Structure 1
Amino acid sequence: MKRKIGRIDKADFPSLNLFDIEVKIDTGAYTSTIHCKNMVVEDNYLKCVFLDEEHPAYHEKEFIFDQYDVKVVKSSNGQSQARYRILTDITLFGKTYPIFLTLSDREEMRYPVLLGRKFLTKRFVVDINNTNLSYKLKVKNEH
């Protein structure tokens, strides 16, 4: 059975040491994306920093990936661009799932993470009248 998820929520990305990160559920997007700065490839290693100074969870830690690829993604304005993609994990409703995230500078965007159809399909049904269903469950279980 599919779990109900609202239009926005907060998720954990344990491998990236990021917790309670705001995510926007975006059924219009195929891929999922995370805000990332200073993406550089050196000696076949992808280096980057997640989020930025404005974000409360920002920790300046540089991440280095030896497993990544490049995907061509069409943005909402119809522009195609090549983006790095990593495989990591996401925790929602107390369960951890593998997730592919493309890396994008989302500085101008309200939500640092978009969850697209590829991740949502077969797992969740979106209820636009709700928000933070996973986060509320997490907070409740911590008490």
Structure 2
Amino acid sequence: MTTKITVGWREWLSLPELGIEQIKAKIDTGARTSCIHAINIEEYEVDGEKWVKFTAQPLQEDEQTQITCNAKVKKMKYVTSSSGQKELRYFIETTLHAGEFSWPIEITLTSRASMKFRMLLGRTAMENRIVVDPALSHLL
């Protein structure tokens, strides 16, 4: 990709493979990994491969809107949060839609119930694709 997308510090994104039509994300160049708010995470197997079923609540301050998602587990790894806590998280891969562009990203599942944004888009998902203008919001 030669043209980079300019985004603001917060954007409406989509994760269609998970059934999430819109989720407000904080565009976080300080975070390496992207993550999404997930509750009721259950692991299961399909043909000997590890999968997870989880509930996404994509809208801030709206616990009634819930989407049941299923995804193949790419890996499990410890992630250090911004508060310094280490947490073992599931990593999945899904397609991100940002405006008219889309590409696969790796994302972790964690509870973000106490956070303002239900998703963080980390720098690994942005690499070579996105430029952030921190003075702006909702460019997509």
Q: Name whichever structure is richer in helix by fraction.
A: 1
1:40 is aligned to 42
Describe the shift of the 1:120–1:49 C-alpha distance in structure 2 as closer, same or farther (beyond 3 A): same
Does 1:98 pair with 2:104? yes
* Matching residue of 1:68: 74
The runs of 5 or more residues in structure 1 that have no matched partner are 135-143
Give the CA deviation at 1:77: 1.3
For residues 53-92 of structure 1, the aligned pairs below 5 Å read 54-55=61-62, 58-61=65-68, 63-92=69-98
Q: TM-score, normalised by structure 1?
A: 0.84
Percent identity between the two aligned chains: 32
What's the secondary structure of 2:135's corresponding residue? coil
Task: Map 1:1-143; keep pairs closer than 5 Å.
Answer: 1-43=3-45, 44-51=50-57, 54-55=61-62, 58-61=65-68, 63-134=69-140
The structure in which a higher percent of residues are strand is: 2
Q: TM-score, normalised by structure 2?
A: 0.86
Aligned equivalents of 2:40, 2:63: Cα separation in 1: 18
Letter in 1 for 2:80: K
Q: Which runs of 4+ in 1 moved over 6 A?
A: none
Give me the whole-angstrom Cα distance separating, in 1, the residues matched to 2:130 and 2:78: 25
- SS of 1:66 mapped into structure 2: strand
